Chain A
Amino acid sequence: MSLTPVLLAGTVGMGEQNHQAHMWAPNLAQAGLAPEAVWTPPSVDDLAMRRAEELACACGVELQVSETPTTSAAGAIVCLRGAERTAFAAFAAEHGLPLLLDKPTLDSTAQLEQFAAEADALPVMAGHHFASHPGFARILTAVRGAEIGLLRAVHTDLVTGGGESSDIGELRNLGVHLLELTRLLTGPAAVRLQAHGVANGSAWSFLGSTDRGVVVSHHTSRASAGHPVVQQLRAQVRVTGTHGFLTLDLTKPRLEVRTVHGTAPVAYAGSSVVAHLTKFASLTHGAARTAPATDFVVISRALDGIAASAESGNAASITW
């Protein structure tokens, strides 16, 4: 089977986090993709430059350090922030290069507006891989097929243990994953909600109701920040309909290997990252569609509204 070449654009992340090397690149082959080259603009910091060098070496591909890449790839996976991300969007739009954008909301709403303007009609997928989790795909089908009747409530929790605290708060870093899932389930909606957050931005929650009366709630936090072992301590979606309800543990499917030394989880049936990359592969072939980049602005504004509600202590009306 021939693999579809993709450009690995940038190795910038949140602090020490390096999704390009640790999450996307290792799973490309399973999704039918192969790295064509690693590219980085010269303006990135020393850490990102070193990461780019190491990634190119690990993948056995060319490292390009230039203002714009030279590429014939079918798409690009983008791990950049701010002005460099926006500049790359302009390049991609000019060359018709579909994008998988890691963590869009690491940038502000204003920055995402600029990004969307540059990306124009370019197909851009957010790197919110839980949206492609096989279990979530199944419950999304169930909700859209009325297998549990009409939707009445969506409750989501995501608690990450360990790892580095986000410099922009965990709402935009982790919480956006849950918001994406909730939004997929409810569809576009106006939401009246009250949010809460702790002062350092490491824990958030909200409770609200959509204009169709669907109750939505959400909790996101990072526990034991700084611990070297990173794992999902809680990753649940619970969906209630008029005729039934569903629960989904996003850390599954998994086996448990139990010995006297403890219990070790063993994932099976493919990860959400591979599933997401597979969807991106389809996008590069024109076999899938995605929302325009302005969608990132919609979700970013929703996050802004949630944060404002938490800060003010007042209920807020948002749309997603």
Chain B
Amino acid sequence: MSEPESGAQRPLGIGIVGVGGIAESHMAALREVADGRLAAVCDIAADQARKIGEREGCAAYGSVEELLADPGVEAVIVCTPNFTHEELGHQVLAAGKDLLMEKPLALTPSGARRLRAEAAERGLALMVGHSHRFSDQGLAIKEAIDAGAIGTPRFVRVALNGGWIWPGWQHWVLNPAASGGHSFHNGVHLTDLACWWMGEQADTVFSAGQHATSEALQIFDYLVVGLGFPSGGSAICEISRGDNPRNAAYAEITVVGTEGVIAREWDAEGILAWLDHGLAQWAPDGVGARTFIREMQSFVDGVRGTKTVVPPVDYAVHAVDVAAASEESLVTGESIRIGAAA
């Protein structure tokens, strides 16, 4: 981690590897975080990196090696397809840079553990982009739980359903070899929330899925992951990209405790829009942006060593354990036990 300097610190120089969709959210967040700055971007699509560099006023490179050699880059955010995470993560850490890895940390439990070990050995911050932990609703639920509002949590239901599907058969998320499957790509968000709110790591995973949009899909665009916890509690995490109507966006969160229930109903944001194509739930402006700003601030704080990264890296490793078990369960139809705690 970067050594604190005396007096006012200069903003942390951050490089972004991969300038696809999620990178835009991180760049927008960096504009709002005073003690961080975008130092450089890189992408194998060098022209795209150059355009972004010009727009953002930062250095731009066509390779990660060039970005890591830039002395202005103190920490790195990896925003590339899932299958590249482990290798790129090792490159970043080997270069002595702190790392914010987009989720998932890796596509195998052993790979996740290798990254954790390397970061620890080098004394570098390793954070994984489980951004839902920073959402308004996610934090509010956690605060209510921690305040004892519902007693001891023993069941979580998270449903984040919609009909938007990744476009084109060439998209890497639809390729399980590249994305790891839906358990890795989106499932980790939900299962991480469930573990966070339950306050423990899962010990069993059982999943059910459907190829809702097309039988030709190789990932389950409709995925439900069931978690069992050592306490006897459980969670059901449902993510869909195959719902009809296609423009639907249904969100429901329920946390049940020994003394009550926290319910985030589908219309919790309070804005309903009746449009030509049907009913929609809108969120107030800034909801999404706040999530990424909080995440970015957390990363900067973690790099500075003033706070622990969120989620703790053990939970990020556990999210990979759960995702791997979920994909195995989808194939075998069996409940998969997770061995040693992450």
Seen from chain A, the residues whose Cβ lies within 8 Å of a Cβ on chain B are 149, 152-153, 155, 157, 159, 161, 192-194, 196-199, 202-203, 205-209, 213, 215, 217, 219, 221, 223-224, 233-234, 238, 240-245, 247, 313-315
Within the complex, the shortest CB–CB distance from B237 to chain A, in Å, comes to: 9
Chain B residue numbers with a CB within 8 Å of A233 are: 260-261
Residues of B participating in the A interface, judged by any CB pair closer than 8 Å: 150-151, 154-155, 157, 159, 161, 204, 206-210, 212, 222, 224, 226, 228-229, 231-234, 236, 238, 240, 243-245, 248, 250, 252, 254, 256-261, 263, 266, 333-335, 337
**Distance A161 CA – B263 CA, assembled complex (angstroms):** 14
Contacts of A238 in B (CB 8 A): 159, 252
Given contact pairs A215-B224, A219-B155, A313-B204, A196 touches B257 in the complex (Cβ within 8 A): no
A207 contacts B226, CB within 8 Å?
yes
> A208 to B206, alpha carbons, bound, how many Å?
8
**Cβ contacts under 8 Å, A234 to chain B:** 254, 256, 261, 263
Contacts of A152 in B (CB 8 A): 210, 212, 222
CB within 8 A of B233: which of A194, A198, A207? A198
Which applies to chain B's interface (DSSP): helix, strand, loop or mixed?
A: strand
Distance of B291 from chain A, by nearest CB (Å):
25
Q: Which 8 A-B pairs have the closest CB atoms?
A: A207-B226, A194-B206, A196-B234, A198-B232, A209-B208, A205-B234, A315-B335, A233-B261
Contacting pair A315 B333 (CB below 8 A):
yes
Which residues of chain A are within 8 angstroms of B252 by Cβ–Cβ distance?
Answer: 238
With most chain B CB atoms within 10 A of its CB, the pick from A196, A209, A238 is A196
Q: Are A159 and B256 in contact (CB under 8 A)?
A: yes
Is A194 a contact of B204 with CB atoms below 8 Å? yes
What is the bound-complex CA distance between A149 and B163, given in angstroms? Answer: 15
In the bound complex, how far is the Cα of B248 from the Cα of A315, in angstroms?
32
**A153 / chain B contacts, CB cutoff of 8 Å:** 210, 222, 224
If A192-B333, A234-B263, A313-B337 touch, whether A198 touches B206 (CB-CB below 8 Å) is no
* Between-chain CB contacts (< 8 Å), 7 pairs: A159-B261, A161-B260, A161-B261, A194-B335, A219-B236, A223-B258, A224-B260
CB distance from B169 to the nearest CB of A (A): 21
> Does the CB pair A223–B150 fall under 8 Å?
yes
Task: State the CA gap A192–B159 with chains docked (Å).
Answer: 21
For the complex, what is the distance from the CA of A36 to the CA of B60, rounded to whole Å? 87
A219 pairs with B157, CB closer than 8 A:
yes
A155 B206 Cβ-Cβ under 8 A: no
Please report the C-alpha to C-alpha distance between residue A157 and residue B207 in the assembled complex, in whole angstroms.
Answer: 18
Q: For A207, give the chain B residue with the smallest CB separation.
A: B226
> Which residues of B have CB within 8 Å of A205?
155, 226, 234, 236
Q: In the complex the two chains form, what is the Cα distance from A213 to B242 in whole Å? A: 15
Q: A198-B233, A313-B335 known; 7 other A-B pairs, CB under 8 Å? A: A194-B206, A194-B228, A196-B204, A203-B155, A206-B226, A207-B224, A245-B244
A245 touches B248 (CB 8 A): yes
Across the interface, name the chain A residue whose C-beta is closest to B231: A198
Query: Cβ of A206: which chain B residues have Cβ within 8 Å of it?
Result: 226
Interface-centre pick from B206, B259, B263 (highest chain A CB count, 10 A)? B206
Q: Which residue of A lies closest to B235 (CB)?
A: A205
A270 CB → nearest B CB, Å: 24
In the complex, A243 Cα to B243 Cα: how many Å? 8
